[in-house]
Amino acid sequence: MTPLVRSVCSADTLTRDALAVLQPGFTGTTPPDWLLRRLGEGLVSVGLFGRNVVGPAQLAALTGRLRAEREELIVAIDEEGGDVTRLEVRGGSSFPGNHALGAVDDTGLTRAVARELGRRLADCGINLNWAPSADVNSNPANPVIGVRSFGADPQLVARHTAAYVEGLQSAGVAACTKHFPGHGDTAVDSHHDLPRIAADLSTLQERELVPFRAAVAAGTRAVMSAHILLPALDAEHPATLSPAALHGLLRAPEAEGGLGFDGLIVTDGMEMQAVSATYGIERGSVLALAAGADALCVGGGLADEDIVLRLRDALVRAVREGELPEQRLADAAARVRALAGRARSAGAGEGEGEGAAPAPGIGLTAARRALRVTAAGPYRPLPEPVHVAAFTPLANIAVGDETPWGVAAELVRLLPGTETTTCTAEAAAAAGTAALVDGLLTAAAGRRLVAVVRDVHRHPWMADALHDLLAARPDTAVIEMGVPQAPPQGALHIATHGAARVCAQAAAEALTGRRPSPDE
């Protein structure tokens, strides 16, 4: 039985430290009163999500109101660009994601894209971005990383992770490199369950950790832990709750085989099932702090005052009962406050990039360069309205289902009168593949067809339907907006390496041979 350990600091100090390590979210597009009160009581961080964003002016007003309550404040957001966007959650991102940047493999371009994204965040008053994803996409069946990764080669991922960190931080926004120690070799989404990675320590060192070492060398201000189990490292606890992963690997000196990271360790969302289903959110949060985490991300799903008070009280109670060392909580709170102080002047810029001009078109430029076009033979650009067959998989939680994807909207702009049929796994199961394809052919009514898929290699129903459609209409063009793992198919095959709005725009331009005029 653990002996009772009395706190040597005041109850007010304990409470302020417990609030300081939380990164909560909230609902609405203006800060609620309870959040403003907690900022006055010691809360140092706030996390923003798509539900909080209408547009740049509203977002700047929101963050300005928060800072009127507490000037030294971390305002964080999950803005990867590409498929995962919060700034443009309802329209699609102006930036391609990591996989597109990795396909181009120009670190200067990656740095420029990250800087422009950071500039836009800083203009809205955001000073911590839960990005980039440094995961090596080593498992093609991965349901949650995919195009969020720069690629499958550790060295490629490492150089682009470093470039992204440098670009983002040159705009005055702290990077939070994720998901340590690497979420790429998983076939399970940690939002739903606990992924297990069977890799041994040597594989971990040679593959997963390579990009994180590069991020640390590039000066990443923060690292986000993953809710994944690596038995070779810790057979009992997921990385977020594992002293071996956080203290023994991420913090350990390089001479001892660690990464020597001394910045802020942020957890992935504590309400995710990989942790909360086994430990509960309060117990999990205590274990994460004890393991070496400094900031607890919560608010993607639980976003009210109750969760903040529950976690605050759980941490205070854990210190008073001797379960969480008081000094560990104090050290974590000090790291959060240090970053808040450093990030106080978001948008001021750092280093050689300070004062660089905005680059509003850099995202579309990158998306165009990322296209990989394969033609089965001579291909005539589409001159008139087409019919789009959108094969739509279930969106994972990280991406969300609010953000539109596909090429239909962009084709309508270039070819007015274009129509779309959406096909899902449920429809295929209910009607059967043959009936689904017959319905598409009937709807197309003789028009040229454009089939849009996303990770066709992971979805047998999609692969079967596409096969039958191409057998019936071999002149169909195919747009793959996920990881292009399957061989190219169709009269024309375009791999966009992501489903961002600019990726769709680039694909539509390639299909039609047209670019919209500035007035369109």
Q: Are 119 and 171 in contact (CB under 8 A)?
A: yes
DSSP 383: -
CA distance 496 to 488: 12
d(CA 214, CA 217): 5
User: How far, in Å, CA of 319 to CA of 329, rounded?
Assistant: 8
Q: Is 453 within 8 Å of 480 (Cβ atoms)?
A: yes
79, 89, 158, 214 from 54: Cα distances, Å: 15, 9, 34, 35
CB 94 within 8 A of CB 143: no
The pair of three-digit structure tokens given for residue 355, joined into one six-digit string: 């004062």
How far apart CA 209 and CA 258 sit, in angstroms, is 10
Check: CB of residue 501 under 8 Å from CB of residue 512.
Answer: no
Neighbours of 506 (CB within 10 A): 27
Residues 6+ apart with CB under 8 A from 323: 2, 286, 290
Whether 159 contacts 104, CB under 8 Å: no
Which residue spans within 362-476 are E strands per DSSP?
A: 372-375, 387-391, 419-423, 449-453
What is the rounded CA–CA span in Å between residue 428 and residue 466? 12
Q: 492 vs 19, 371, 458, CA distance in Å?
A: 55, 12, 21
Q: Are strands 372-375 and 492-495 parallel, antiparallel or unpaired?
A: antiparallel
Q: Is 428 helix (H, G, I), strand (E, B) or coil?
A: helix
Phi, psi of 349 (to 5 degrees): 85, 155
Helix orientation angle between 11-20 and 326-342, rounded to the nearest 10 degrees: 60
Got the DSSP string for 53-77? -S-HHHHHHHHHHHHHH-SS-EEEE
- As a residue count, the chain comes to 520
Q: Pairing state of beta strands 387-391 and 419-423?
A: parallel
Q: What sections of 3-123 are H helices per DSSP? A: 11-20, 33-41, 56-69, 98-104, 107-123
Q: Would you tell me how many other CB atoms lie within 10 Å of the CB of residue 357?
A: 7
Which residues are designated catalytic? 191, 268
